[in-house]
Structure 1
């Protein structure tokens, strides 16, 4: 399981600032597990600033992980600092901000 967590965190580190991806997109890219497993793996890194967990949202663009941050508004604050507008805990213009891990140049 430790390798899975590391793989999820590695993909999250590649999300460009100002972009977001979904738990499901990461799961599909890794071809292992499910969106829920990715969410679990992301919760393991919240104390680590080098993993941008704030850039991972649910399939609707909602900040479903916001309550796992130090404060419920921290996820939104970090996204907005990168130019991603959030209203009612949802990314505005989600399609424009969405980044697919398949965009990686491996």
Structure 2
């Protein structure tokens, strides 16, 4: 993935409003050629101390991925007022844009 495409992805992630989420695919559609998988890859490559709201990026079905940061992601989303259905699903009403 080119540095320019990765920068586009990170710019879009930075724009996701507090209390909202978006999907890998929606971010990809806003770029010039990224796929949802590429967005996921870019998110996994975030450097430490990046400050981006990574926790606001989820899969298209609204389900939080089962990964090492899942507990922290749930905590951050709840702190922003995102109500989860069950333990790991975000209602579509919280999706941006």
TM-score, normalised via structure 1 length: 0.81
How big is the alpha-carbon RMSD for the aligned residues of Structure 1 and Structure 2?
1.6
Cα–Cα, structure 1 residues 39 and 68, in superposed 2: closer, same or farther, change >3 Å?
farther
Q: How far did 1:88 drift? A: 2.4
- Structure 1 segments unaligned to the other structure (5+ residues): 101-106
Number of residue equivalences = 95
Q: How far did 1:46 drift? A: 6.1
* 1:33-52 to 2 correspondences below 5 Å: 33-45=34-46, 47-52=48-53
Contact conserved, 1:19 with 1:97, CA < 8 A, in 2? yes
2:88 matched residue in structure 1: 89
Contact conserved, 1:43 with 1:68, CA < 8 A, in 2? no
- Structure 2 segments unaligned to the other structure (5+ residues): none
* 1:1-106 to 2 correspondences below 5 Å: 1-45=2-46, 47-64=48-65, 66-69=66-69, 72-86=70-84, 87-91=86-90, 93=91, 95-100=92-97
Q: How far did 1:59 drift? A: 0.4
Report the secondary structure of 2:63's partner residue: coil
Runs of 4+ in 1 over 2 A off after TM superposition: 46-49
TM-score, normalised via structure 2 length: 0.88
